[in-house]
Structure formats: structure tokens, C-alpha cells
Amino acid sequence: GAVVSQHPSWVICKSGTSVKIECRSLDFQATTMFWYRQFPKQSLMLMATSNEGSKATYEQGVEKDKFLINHASLTLSTLTVTSAHPEDSSFYICSARDFPYEQYFGPGTRLTVT
Amino acid sequence: ILNVEQSPQSLHVQEGDSTNFTCSFPSSNFYALHWYRWETAKSPEALFVMTLNGDEKKKGRISATLNTKEGYSYLYIKGSQPEDSATYLCAFMANTGTASKLTFGTGTRLQVTL
């Protein structure tokens, strides 16, 4: 299957700082990438759909000013958690869509805000 | 809100046992049903994408069936091995166009012991 990388795999930051997470499709071009968040013992919850060259589409309840998404190329999408707070601590994972419906995931990023 | 449920939540079997899990999803507006295998600290691995009612797919000792009319899919593992230990996720994709999103179940956590 196709490979999606995600960096960093874990990050610890102080409250009030910003953190950027990168998601790359290594062997295919992805016009659409997705960002998910997982709380303990819950399913993967879609935060936003990232489309190359256009603005991301955010799910209801997700603050677009806090979670900035940029899909600058067909192989790279970034999620920036701005002014992070402890409640933003979570597991974030990205995926890339390979037409028409296959979807491949990165390994995820564990964010801890102190 | 789409409801995707998986059962059981967790399962503990011995090496050599065969096992199966269930994923239930909405029976309307179906486009595709995905199964993933997710080992700790790794990317979720795409197992199957199923699109047609009555579909049966097989990959080694793992197979899956699909019933879109009643809204369920079964995943079977024959002769479980310790390396099958993982969380198995299913995800429903509705027929909403090219940006169709995946809605995940909470997963079935399988542990296979010697």
C-alpha cells in the first residue's frame, strides 16, 4: 500500500506556543488529505478535510483559527495548533486519499501541552 | 451524525483460534466500507475496501464480507497468531461525492496469546 509519513511522532510544548505537524504522501499525489483527532477510548474524529490549493473544510465544532491547515502541494499538508492549551493534548493523525476511495494513514502525532 | 458500531470492543483469544468481529453501519447512502488494522505506534494499515453488496475479500488468513442492505460487515481471522494482535477499525464512507469522509467505529482490540 501507499505510504504516508507524519512528523513529529510526539511533541511536548508549553501552553501558549504553537506546534506544526506535517503530513506527507511519499509515493502518490493526494489532492485531498484529512486530519483526525483521537481521545482516549474513542474513535478517530475527523477535524478537517484539506484540499490542495484551497481552504480546508472544518467539521462542526472545530475552531479553524486554532487548528490551521495548509495543503501547499499534492504531497504535503500541515496542521498548526496555535496558542496550544492543555486541553489540546491529544493524538492527531492524518490521512491521504488515493482516488477513488483508498485512504492511507500516517502513524500519528502525540501532542502534550504543559 | 452517522453511527458506526463495532463489536466486541475487545477480544482475547489463543493462538490457533479463529475469530470474527462485526461492524454495523447505516444501510442508506452507502459508498464504501473500509477495514484497517492498527498496531500500536504504527500507521493504520488498510486491509480491505469493500464497495458491493455481497462482496467477500481475502488477504491471507483474514477475510471480510459485506451486507449493505442490512448494514453490516464481518471480519474473520482464521488460525489467529500473536502478530494478529492489533486494533481492527472499520470505517463507513457515504456516497456524498469526491470528498466523501470516513466515519470510524471505535474498533475491536484483539489480543492473541500463545
Instruction: Give yes or no for a contact between B3 and B18, defined as CB atoms under 8 angstroms apart.
Output: no
Instruction: Give yes or no for a contact between A9 and A108, defined as CB atoms under 8 angstroms apart.
Output: yes
Q: Does B102 touch chain A (CB under 8 A)?
A: yes
Instruction: Indicate the residue of A43, A93, A99 with minimum beta-carbon distance to B105.
Output: A43
Query: Which of A8, A26, A7 is CA-nearest to residue A98?
Result: A26
pLDDT exceeds cutoff 70 at B97: no
- H and E: helices and strands count for chain A: 0, 11
List Cβ neighbours of A71 (8 Å cut-off, separation of 6 or more).
Answer: A33, A50, A51, A52, A53, A54, A56, A77, A78
A 20-79: CB under 8 A from B: 32, 34, 41-44, 46, 49, 51, 57
The answer to whether A105 contacts B44, with C-beta atoms less than 8 Å apart, is yes
pLDDT in tens, B15-61: 999 999 999 999 888 999 999 999 988 999 999 999 999 999 999 99
pLDDT in tens, A34-60: 999 998 888 899 999 998 888 899 999
